[in-house]
Every structure is written in C-alpha cells, then in structure tokens.
Amino acid sequence: MTDRISWHGTFVTNTFAEAFSVTGTRVIITAATENWTRIVASEVTGYGTSVIACDAEAGVDRYLTPEQTPDGRPGVAVMFFAFNLESLAKAVVKRIGQCVLTCPTTAVYDGVDEPMDAEKRIDLGKQLRYFGDGFQASKVIGERRYWRIPVMDGEFLCEEQIGSFRGVAGGNLLIGGENQLSALQAAEQAVQAMRNCPQVIMPFPGGIVRSGSKVGSRYQALRASTNDAYCPTLKPRTKTDLLPETSAVYEIVIDGRSAEHVGEAMRAGLATLADLSGVTEVSAGNYGGKLGKHHFHLREILDKFS
C-alpha cells in the first residue's frame, strides 16, 4: 500500500521527485514596450516543453522593469536547458535568430553574468552577426563585446557571447483533485507561487502538464509513454497509484539554476496546497533513482514547514 502523509487535510505521498543534471543558460531580452517583451518571450520559448522531443526546455524566469535591464527598457529573463553545451548552443542560436532577431525593437544580453572559462560560453552574437551580410559592426564596452546588426527598424543589438551553467531539470509535483477543475485550479495556484521564485522555469503550457509520462513504451520506437499509474480512467485496467476519490491529476515540472532553486520552488508550490478545497492528494514522479542524482523528498520539504 502506498505510504501517504496526512498534511493539512491533503494526503501527500511519501516519495521523491527525481531530477537530473542539464546545461542551462539565461538571457535578458529587452524591447521598446512591455507588450513586445511578452510577445518575444512567448515566441522564443515556444515548443520548449521537454527534451524528450524538443531542442531545449525553455521558459520565462521573470519579467524585468527598465531599472533592472542593461539598456533601461522593459525586459524579460528567459532560461533554456538541454542535455549538454553543444545541444544548448545550437538551440539557443536558432531560437534567438528566428524568434528574437525577427521581433520588432528587441536586443539580447547575457543573463548569467558570472566569470567562467571560454569553453563554457556560447557564441551568440558572434554567430548571428553574419545576418548583417558584412554591414554588421561590433562595440566593446568594458570586457563585453556587442554586435550591431542592421535591420529594417534600425539595429539589432546582441551580446557576442552568453554564459552557461550546470542546472537541474525534472523537479516535479503531481496534484490530484476531486475533479478536473479542482485539480487544475490547485495546479494554477501552485505555479503562480513558483513563478515568484528566482532562477526557475516551468516549461510546459501555463507551467502545467496533463500528459505525464513514464520511461519506455510497449511500442519500441517511443522513448516515453503515458503514465498509466496516474491516469484516472485507467484505474480498472492497470496498477494505479491514485486514491479512489482522485478524478484528475496535473503535473508541474520545474527546471532551475541549481538543486536549491528547484527545491525552493517545490516548497513554494506545496505551501499553496495546504487546506485547499478539492485537492485529494499530492505526489511526485521518480524512476527509482535511475534517471538522475537529484532527489527531492516530499517529507523533507514538508518538515521545513514545521
């Protein structure tokens, strides 16, 4: 029988979320208006949900006021994660080139902002400058080089290189509810709380996953398939991990700068679920410790509330 902890009227499974190490980066994108920062953020993070099939996991860290950006304009900090530096570099150059260079009034700056060896840096403006067809120009300010690429509304300014770091992907919470609406509303509140935590992203639509997955499939061509143990309609047909009263489950996946950042986001999400009407259970997804070295035990997170 599944071991569960009763916590503020909700059953929390005594399990852990299993996450793995990835390579990440963070860029700051600015634009003439706040509206255009939201448009560019939506475009550049599109199709960035899971490295199971996407080139990178991508999401908004936070929106920035003009006082928080390098050029005094509205901005957004965006994070990208991939399995290794080579894959990440390819994804970021393509995404910035296709979705930010093309977007009215934008500029791009390094958002990692810490010293590191050259081999850990990603050539960004250094690659995109060729779009200028020989008319591009560079400018060095301090120790940073920027490229000015002529475009039809003026110039696209892009930092030559951006930093990278070893991050953590795959922290997660599974939230069960009496019905679809109650589970969704609870997940939305948890995501909202997590968005207040720095240096993390929730890469799925609205931060929420309806199609949680397990490793492998009965179909050999698939790397992952539906997590049948958490599908309410499959309770009579498979070994379920759900309580009888659970009719819907949503998952929140968290990627972050470090294990500490991911753990803090999970704590913030759990805090919103206390005494929340309609929530039947909270759990987390793991693969028996075989996927990644970062384990976030729900009991340990709950103990921090004591």
Instruction: Taking residues 98-119, report their average pLDDT.
Output: 93
pLDDT of residue 306: 63
Q: Give the 3-state secondary structure of 71-131.
A: CCCCEEEEEEEECCHHHHHHHHHHHHHHHCCCCCCCEEEECCCCCCCHHHCEECHHHHHHH
> CA-CA distance, 257 to 164, in Å (whole number)?
10
What type of residue is 247?
S
Per-residue pLDDT reduced to its tens digit, 139-171 = 999 889 999 999 999 999 999 999 999 999 999
Percent share of the chain, pLDDT over 70 = 99
> CA-CA distance, 49 to 51, in Å (whole number)?
7
Q: Would you list the domain boundaries of the chain?
A: 4-19+167-303, 23-165
CATH of domain 23-165: 3.30.70.520
| Domain 4-19+167-303 class in CATH | alpha beta
> CA-CA distance, 217 to 23, in Å (whole number)?
27
> CA-CA distance, 190 to 268, in Å (whole number)?
7
The model's confidence at residue 8, banded by pLDDT at 50, 70 and 90, is: confident
pLDDT of residue 113: 81
Q: Around Cβ 140, how many Cβ atoms within 10 Å?
A: 9
> CA-CA distance, 81 to 112, in Å (whole number)?
13
Instruction: Taking residues 90-112, report their average pLDDT.
Output: 98
Q: State the burial class of residue 228 (Cβ atoms within 10 Å of its Cβ: 0-12, 13-18, 19+).
A: middle
> CA-CA distance, 122 to 253, in Å (whole number)?
26
Contact 17, 284 (CB under 8 A): yes
Q: State the burial class of residue 218 (Cβ atoms within 10 Å of its Cβ: 0-12, 13-18, 19+).
A: exposed
Instruction: Taking residues 281-297, report their average pLDDT.
Output: 91
Topology agreement, domain 4-19+167-303 and domain 23-165: yes
